[in-house]
Amino acid sequence: MKRRVFLLILLIFTTSCTPKYIPLNMPDCPPPPPPIENVRVALVLGGGGFKGMAHVGVLEIFERHGIPIDLIVGTSVGSAIGALYADHPNAVDLKNKLMKVKKWEILDLSILNGLRSLFDLIAPIQGLYYENYLRKQLNSKEIEDLNIPLVVVTTDIINNEIYLIRSGPIVPAVHASSAVPPFFSPVKIYHRTLVDGGVLEPVPVTIAKKFNPKVIISIDIASKPETGGLSNMLNLTYKSISLYYYELSRLKCQCSDFDIHPNLEGLGLFDDDKKELLYERGLKN
């Protein structure tokens, strides 16, 4: 609870600050994406922080039953899991990789920067550790080189619209899709200011439909907030945001042919010490 209160304090105060952009050596625009055609099964991976381990459990079930995946559409942590799996489509190997990673290895969270963000243009998490981790894990460097086509969903926060990345460097695209405001600074690439794709598309089923797949399978890892009393306004704010995200996710999933919703109640966005449990919850679907 103390951790949630601290994060909410940062949320309230940093949203009024103009974020500091992370400079990246990027081309002015992504290269022309390869065509995505004849898609039988499109897999949609929703956002949810460390709860993304549940995605991996579901992927293992797909492999056991021989369910092919012709396209992955991911937002937030769904884009990260999607990129790692599309690079090396083996759920057990992916699980073993992710089980070893610790929160501090991918989240360069600075309490000092969090406090400075009350008065300065510095976000609590810069995202540099996150990028470094992804680069070490990925064999492919470009989205078009992945073994399974991937669509990375981001939000253009200046123009208030979804921005899809289908080609070019994988790491900055996934970083942008995962840049949850206000904890991560927005990522400025392709002359756009991009944040977490889950701001507008927590489970981007409507994006998958653009590619005319025969079947869309969505995995929604959002969970309803715990019931109970409200102790203060911070608690009320946290619960309101969580409930809104949950209901929006459920609404988005109504357009899929098969909606998988693992039971993740009581598990939080930052519960990296419960990865095994999250994985097992994914296996049960």
List the catalytic residues. 76, 196
Largest interatomic CA distance in the chain: 54
Fill in the DSSP letter of residue 19.
P
d(CA 163, CA 153): 6
In the chain, beta strands by DSSP E? 41-45, 71-75, 150-156, 161-165, 187-189, 192-196, 215-219, 258-260
d(CA 143, CA 197): 17
Fill in the DSSP letter of residue 274.
G
d(CA 216, CA 201): 15
22 Cβ neighbours under 8 A, 6+ residues apart: 126, 127, 128, 185, 187, 188
Cα–Cα distances in angstroms (integers) from residue 215 to residues 44, 49, 110, 283, in the given order: 11, 26, 43, 21
Burial class (CB in 10 A: 0-12, 13-18, 19+), 95: buried
